[in-house]
Structures are given as C-alpha cells and as structure tokens.
Structure 1
C-alpha cells in the first residue's frame, strides 16, 4: 500500500476521483467443483459459499487480480488500484470525469457493480486508502486528527497497543516518532507490568500534539532543478532521518517523509561518527 501512496505522490495532480466497487468479493463466483471446500455448519445445517468469501486469506489477492485483468483488457486509462479501490487523477475535472467514466464502463461490462454513493469526485481534495490527497500531497484527514486528539490515556497494555497502532500509521509525518513513543512501547512489553507514569503521560500528550500539527508530505517532483536533500541525526536513543525536495525559490523545500527507530543490540555503543553513518545508511 505504501508503494501506491509513493506513486500517487509523484503525480502532483490537481483533480482526483475514486471508485469503490460494491461487494467486489461477492461479485466473483466460485467454481462449482471448489465450493465444497468452503462448506460450514451453522445451527445444525450445512452451507457452502457460492461466491468468493470475505475473511479468506486469498480473497483479496484473487479479487485484486481479476479486477486488474478486467481493467487491462478494457484498456483502462491511467489509474492506481488496491483490491477494489481505484483512483484516477488529472489536471482538470473534465479529464478526471472521463477517466472515471471509462473505468466504470469497463467494470460494469466485466460484471462488477458500481454504486453512485461509492464514486467520489472529481474533486481537488479526496481520501484514498485512508489518506487525504491534495495537489499530490499526502495529509492526515481532519476526522482522524480529531479522533486521535480526543483519545483518553490507555489503562492497560491492550489499549496502549491499540493507540500505538492508530498513531503509528502516520509515523512518516512525525519527526522523531520512535523516540517520542518509546515510553509507551515500554509498558506494552510482556516482561513489564503496565505502569502509566509521568514519562508515559508526557509521551502520550506529545504524540497527540505532533499528530495535530503534522505537515503534509510531497509531492514528489522531478527535474534537473529539483534537489533531493537527506537530513540525518544520531540521537541519544536512535537514528532519525528525513528526505526533502528543494526547488528553485524554496528556502528549505518540502518533506517527503520522516523516519526513526531505536538502537538495536550493540548500535547504542557505536561512536558518534558510526551512528551518523548508520542514520544515513537507513
């Protein structure tokens, strides 16, 4: 999924539209000879799936492949696809509308159902794969920011892990993410008892503030006058690095992403120079 996001960043489009196929799995019939493999018993009666079931580990791959094959056969315009979610882009609303219309026609012909409520755009701002997109820039949606900002402190390990899962999805937007949330990971370890102390409270509030003020990432720009700049730092608790692009007239440029992690094994005993090399290598 990250690869799709990186590719979409490189488009720097002005307009977008998304298409979410309705009940995509259930649009795919199972071969009659395979149906007994999906038999199950409920309330004493045996049933079997006749359509591709949700929850089976191979269903997403099969569904993605069949939709991709249909789009290729129909010579669909440029797009990105993740299972049953599709996005198209362009420089004008008319261009995007025509691309979306063509893709919908191909999908309908292939036997997939499209609901009007599942088609969004053309629009200059849109959500795709849970991310807000505008001018090729990746942003945290405001409803996600508000949800995280309103979260109460965890009261046990499971709640802490759930919180880290939510904020961790946006870690590329947060400088020094690993260092900030390190106290929270400490209380989730099996060997440690859950103890919510001052360090955890500070880390919890700080990461929420960082989410609220997170910057947009991208777009990825090409050209001889665009300079890629890698910033690295060897912190006390681990290396951090960020990638920026600078175009003529820009003082600092635009960030493409922030990364960080803790030291592993003997890395904490590296010399300052070795730690800087480690950050650049990562």
Structure 2
C-alpha cells in the first residue's frame, strides 16, 4: 500500500493537499481481515465449460492469475469444480474478473449477512474457475456469489457504525462523505480514513473524488442544491424507442418507478401503460399508450431538483385524491420557502375506487406516511388536505374498521397535525387529476355566444322558422327561443 504523501505527489491527484490525516490508498496485497465468508451448499456443485476470451481479456486474465498467491486473489488448485469466466471493463480503465456462479448460487444456503470478508478455507474450492493457464480459486469473496453483497454490506456497516448518517452513507463499496463546511469535511475524511486504515481496507485512488460540490452517487447527482436524475439517464430516456412488446414495457415501467419520486404526477401519466401490464398474454399499443409514453418521456427529461432532507426543519405533507389516483408531496420549509423533497402518487386499486371521498383522502395521507416513514417518524409533521372533514379526524365519533386501522397506524407512529387547504391551492391536486377530465369539465360549460348563434340560426332556417311559428303538437318544445 502507498502512504498518502506518495499518492498525492502527482499533479493529477484528487486528494486535497491540506488533508490532515494519514489514509492509505493502494492496490497491493489483500489483507486477512475479519471472519471468513462461508459458501454453505446443500449438495456438491458441477463443473461447466469455459468461455472464449478476446485477446485483451486473455492478457488481463494472465496478469491476474500469475500474481503471487500472497499478493493476488487467486490460488492455483487441482479441483473438480471449475467455472467459466469473462473480463468486465471498468470506468477507470481497469478490469474485473466475472465468474459464472449461477449453478453454485442455486444450491447455496441463503443468508442474511455476516461480518466477514475473506473466504473460508473449507469453501474456497467451490469458487474455482478454469482458464487456459490452469484452474484457480478465490481466497477472498469473489464478485457474483449470492451472499457476498449482504456479507460486505454488514461488514461495512459494522466498521463505520459510529459515522453512519452523521457524515457517511454507505452502499456496498460506495462511500459518500458529506459535511456542512470544508473544515468539517476534512475532519470527516480523517475519521473515515482512520477507520479504513484500522481495518486494513484498501481504496482505489482512481475511483475517489474529494471536496466536490456535485457528484454522482447510485444513479443520482447529489449537489449543494439537492438531488437530481443523472443526465446520462436522461439521455437514455430521450433515445428510448417506441415499445413493441410486453418485456420492453416492463423495462420502461421499471425505470419509471425508479425515478418516481422526481415526477409529480407519475401515477396519472403512466396509468395507460400500467393498465397494459395486467394482460400478460397480449400486448396492445394504442393512441392512449403512445400519448402516455410521450408525456412520460417529456416529464422524465425535465425533472425538478429535489432538496435533501433536513430533520432539523419542519416537514409538511400535502395530499390529494381523485377517482383514479392518490398523490402527495413531501415539503421542507427552507429560508426561501417550502421546497419539495419527494413526490409520490399511485393508482387506486380494485375496491379502493369505490371508497367514499373521505376514505380516499384518508388513504392518501396513510400512503404518504408509509412511503416517507423514514423521514416522518419522530418529526413534527403538518398535513394539508383539501378535504375539510379530515381536520376533525381525531374527534370523529363513528369510524369504520378500515378507518380505525388507519388512525391507529398514524397515532402510534407519528406526531402530526391535519389542516385544511382548498383544492385550488393544493399542490398535490395536479398529481391525481387527469388533464382529460379537467378539459371535459371546461367543454361542458355553456357559452352564451353559442346560445345566441343557435337562436339566430333557427330564425333564418326554413324548417325551424315555420316550426317555431306553428310547432307540431307534442313534438317540439320551445323555451327562450331555442
């Protein structure tokens, strides 16, 4: 491993020169750390054939497997179990060996995570794979085993437990360090690197970024302004071709659900598409589906920036319900006013469409609290609804069993106050009201100019002019000239 001073000597280093700590960053020998990872199986595994590699991949495989056993992650063995492998290129120009462990995963006894990283000696032979240079097995946890993610996540949580949600967020091998000032950030970096050094964990310098105002993390862009969708994903949406089968529709809907917190009216916009998912035997694409697809692409390519949650500020939840959907907005009161943290909406299912207006509006509140439970538990929350009777929910004398269950959930888990806000001023109203329904209401209103035009036309039309002067009995009724 290289000391910080050595890593920081080049002009292209990403580590701040005024960093006070002493972290180690490098790529040398893998240390023996913590308990061993077990790959317990129900029966013996079978061997499979190898996969031909391209010349570039062959050179990389040779470089990896020819490392001395105490510096690499492989150990030459003559074992009956062998797996095919491929080489996967990474963003920084490096590579990763990917072994086909599907057969082993099918018979592995699933676990919920252990505090272990290194492979158990008695299980190393199960990870064996075969190359043109011989057969090898892993000494540490390889990429692709079924229990490895949970094992690694539990290990990282155990190591960084004292910093989690204070200045560190960890997802597997991605570590995000956040601070309110540069000085505090340097102290937080020192604490993180101290734990890495203490537990002999190695970081890869080419994958590290320091002192950034904006960076990519788990498919999102996190900045001082808030969280937004990764621009690369927006480009993918723009280039998304029309859907031709059910599998493509499922893939598109999966992406829509992944970014649903960014889109205010996602349930209403995607309703024609989700309806198509119900029929697993037939794929049908009409004008409504194409219109919904186009509207979703527009909405997804111009998403708002969501503010990062701050538990020290008061939360506000605005909810609404319609005949087809429920929706909510999670807001925080910042210095520049209320700002959105997340949006949520979904279609009403089955019998829910037959609920009374009161129950639909109450369901919207319950769904919002279930969705944002991680934010709202223990916080003082103001709920705003356009259904006036809900502000007296706690004093309502006669509750049906469903309402009792909902009220018990709210009362036993949250501190909240329900207030009334007219629908015209309700930000969540747009999450549930289809544009077509609103347009139909507007068209149904009578235009006085149109009525006058009808009256004038009756007077000059030969048939109606005579009918008005001598109307046939019981066939025509004339009122106000119409």
Fold similarity call, TM over 0.5? yes
Q: Does 1:239 align with 2:326?
A: yes
Q: Does 1:280 align with 2:369?
A: no
TM-score (normalizing by structure 1): 0.78
Query: Which residue of the partner structure matches residue 306 of structure 2?
Result: 217
Q: Tell me, yes or no, if the aligned pair for 2:225 and 2:305 is still in contact at 8 Å.
A: no
Q: Helix, strand or coil for the counterpart of 1:217?
A: coil
Query: Which residue of the partner structure matches residue 111 of structure 1?
Result: 200
Instruction: Give the Å deviation of 1:171.
Output: 0.1
Q: Tell me, yes or no, if the aligned pair for 1:108 and 1:114 is still in contact at 8 Å.
A: no
Matches within 5 A, 1:6-45: 28-38=117-127
Hey, what's the Cα distance between the residues in 1 that align with 2:268 and 2:332? 24
Q: Helix, strand or coil for the counterpart of 2:118?
A: coil
Instruction: Give the Å deviation of 1:88.
Output: 0.8
Q: Helix, strand or coil for the counterpart of 1:245?
A: strand
Hey, what's the Cα distance between the residues in 2 that align with 1:110 and 1:158? 45
Higher radius of gyration, 1 or 2: 2
Question: Are residues 73 and 257 of structure 1, via their aligned partners in 2, closer, same or farther at CA, if it must alter by over 3 Å?
Answer: closer
Q: Tell me, yes or no, if the aligned pair for 1:240 and 1:279 is still in contact at 8 Å.
A: yes
Question: Are residues 73 and 182 of structure 1, via their aligned partners in 2, closer, same or farther at CA, if it must alter by over 3 Å?
Answer: closer
TM-score (normalizing by structure 2): 0.48
Q: Helix, strand or coil for the counterpart of 1:242?
A: strand
Question: Are residues 50 and 245 of structure 1, via their aligned partners in 2, closer, same or farther at CA, if it must alter by over 3 Å?
Answer: same
Q: Tell me, yes or no, if the aligned pair for 1:175 and 1:260 is still in contact at 8 Å.
A: yes
Question: Are residues 215 and 112 of structure 1, via their aligned partners in 2, closer, same or farther at CA, if it must alter by over 3 Å?
Answer: same
Larger RCO (alpha carbons 8 Å, 6+ apart): 1
Question: Are residues 83 and 21 of structure 1, via their aligned partners in 2, closer, same or farther at CA, if it must alter by over 3 Å?
Answer: farther
Question: Are residues 188 and 266 of structure 1, via their aligned partners in 2, closer, same or farther at CA, if it must alter by over 3 Å?
Answer: closer
Q: Which runs of 5+ in 1 are unaligned?
A: 1-19
Query: Which residue of the partner structure matches residue 88 of structure 1?
Result: 177
Matches within 5 A, 1:92-241: 92-135=181-224, 137-223=226-312, 226-241=313-328
Instruction: Give the Å deviation of 1:98.
Output: 4.5
Q: Helix, strand or coil for the counterpart of 1:254?
A: strand
Hey, what's the Cα distance between the residues in 2 that align with 1:228 and 1:66? 33
Hey, what's the Cα distance between the residues in 1 that align with 2:156 and 2:314? 38
Q: Does 1:262 align with 2:344?
A: no
Q: Tell me, yes or no, if the aligned pair for 1:230 and 1:244 is still in contact at 8 Å.
A: yes
Q: Tell me, yes or no, if the aligned pair for 1:234 and 1:279 is still in contact at 8 Å.
A: yes
Query: Which residue of the partner structure matches residue 14 of structure 1?
Result: none
Query: Which residue of the partner structure matches residue 435 of structure 2?
Result: none
Instruction: Give the Å deviation of 1:220.
Output: 2.2
Which has the higher mean CA deviation after the structures are superposed, 149-158 or 98-107? 98-107
Question: Are residues 73 and 201 of structure 1, via their aligned partners in 2, closer, same or farther at CA, if it must alter by over 3 Å?
Answer: closer
Query: Which residue of the partner structure matches residue 60 of structure 1?
Result: 149
After superposition, what is the alpha-carbon deviation per residue over 1:11-52, rounded to whole angstroms, capped at 9, x for unaligned? xxxxxxxxx998x99694312122244456789x87543321
Question: Are residues 215 and 275 of structure 1, via their aligned partners in 2, closer, same or farther at CA, if it must alter by over 3 Å?
Answer: same
Q: Tell me, yes or no, if the aligned pair for 1:35 and 1:48 is still in contact at 8 Å.
A: yes
CA-based RMSD: 3.2
Hey, what's the Cα distance between the residues in 2 that align with 1:249 and 1:91? 18
Hey, what's the Cα distance between the residues in 2 that align with 1:239 and 1:192? 29
Instruction: Give the Å deviation of 1:232.
Output: 1.4
Instruction: Give the Å deviation of 1:109.
Output: 4.7
Hey, what's the Cα distance between the residues in 1 that align with 2:120 and 2:249? 44
Q: Which runs of 5+ in 2 are unaligned?
A: 1-24, 31-36, 38-72, 74-115, 368-482
